[in-house]
Structure 1
Amino acid sequence: MRFDFDTFYIEPIQIQDAWNICNFVTANEDRLKRYFPKTLEQNLSPDLSKIFADKKVKQFKLKQEFLFTIKENQPNNLIGLIYLKSLDWGRKQGEFAYCVHYGFEGKGITSQAIKILSEFAFETVGLESIQIIVYKTNYGSVKVAENCNFTWIKTLEKEHTPPGEAPMDMELYELYKEIE
């Protein structure tokens, strides 16, 4: 499975992505430490990234969590990660979490990828609602939610605690499958 758009593509994580994920995470460490501390700590070395990639490939196959990579067509650089996580099969709901390389932010790449993966989540995975949970001053992530027609629902009090910080209130956005 591969989704192409512009000069980029999205595909499920693969074992051979481990080295590129390690490079991506270490290059974007400052950006990831607040909102993706677990991804960061699990990818600080090539050996850790191999374990991470292997685990995420298995979770994808078992439909426990879906991790996608965003890559440039040429030269095949990994420029972002998108998780479809927190799957609640009873409610048919999941949550997107995403991060993009600092050199590619503000270009609409993540918005395009989320639009594509929203359709995948509804049509292939069978979800009926998808959430995005963001910090109010993370303007790039707020813009992705808005660009992709997610609706602000409410503020979630003390929803996320970054390492070494006090708990933060987060904003909940949701998108619902259209009934035809």
Structure 2
Amino acid sequence: MTFDVFSIRLIAMSDLDNYFLMVENNRKRLEDFFTGTVSRTKTISETEQFLKELLQKCDERLYYPFVIENLQTKELIGFIDIKNIDWNIPKAELGFYTDANYAGKGITSKAFSLVVNHCFNQFGFVKLFLRTHESNSAAQKLAEKNGFQIEGKIRKDYKTTNGQVVDLLYYGRIKE
């Protein structure tokens, strides 16, 4: 999937160095709500093992990790994953983050829209959802801009890196 000078594609082992760099450059921003990513990517070798596990889950149709790549610079500037897949319904959760240097420029919104369409048209999901903290107004705007509706607040649904258990807003979108 491509738009402007960006590509959205499944992550590959060849992305190891660029992926580590993207996480490292955004570690502070990611630490509260991407606990697994932050805790599993502290070194290149840990990140390599983490990517191997993500790709294994992808092979098993349990998880799909996409990167947003700047085609001109070959820099990874964002990540969108399809997780918590339930093939019986079928539905899945989407998660995403963007490099601080690219945040607020509409890139993630365009990429997210393409992934949403891909989920409905290629994977056949009938429902997509995302969860976000009340403080993440950018994620809320992105969800609403892409046709997701707030379905409610899930109380005490996520443990942050510092151990705090917090409420999350739940957004859903049904295939039209």
Q: TM-score, structure 1 length as denominator?
A: 0.94
SS at match of 1:28: helix
2:80 maps to which residue?
A: 82
1:11 maps to which residue?
A: 9
1:164 maps to which residue?
A: 162
Name the % identity.
25
* CA distance in 2: counterparts of 1:57 and 1:106, whole angstroms: 29
* CA distance in 2: counterparts of 1:143 and 1:113, whole angstroms: 14
SS at match of 2:160: coil
Query: 1:165, CA displacement in angstroms?
Result: 4.0
Give the 5 Å matches for 1:114-129.
114-129=112-127
Superimposed CA distance per residue, residues 70-93 of structure 1 (whole angstroms, 9 cap, x where no aligned partner): 110111100111110000111211
SS at match of 2:115: helix
Query: 1:52, CA displacement in angstroms?
Result: 1.5
Query: 1:61, CA displacement in angstroms?
Result: 2.0
Query: 1:9, CA displacement in angstroms?
Result: 0.9
SS at match of 1:64: coil
* CA distance in 2: counterparts of 1:69 and 1:109, whole angstroms: 12
Structure 1 unaligned runs (5+)? none
Query: 1:166, CA displacement in angstroms?
Result: 2.4
SS at match of 2:112: helix
1:132 maps to which residue?
A: 130
Structure 2 unaligned runs (5+)? none
Q: How many residues align?
A: 176
Runs of 4+ aligned residues of structure 1 deviating over 6 Å after TM superposition are none
Asked whether the 8 Å contact 1:153–1:174 carries over to 2, the reply is: yes
1:98 maps to which residue?
A: 96
Asked whether the 8 Å contact 1:17–1:53 carries over to 2, the reply is: no
SS at match of 2:55: helix
Root-mean-square deviation over aligned CA pairs: 1.0
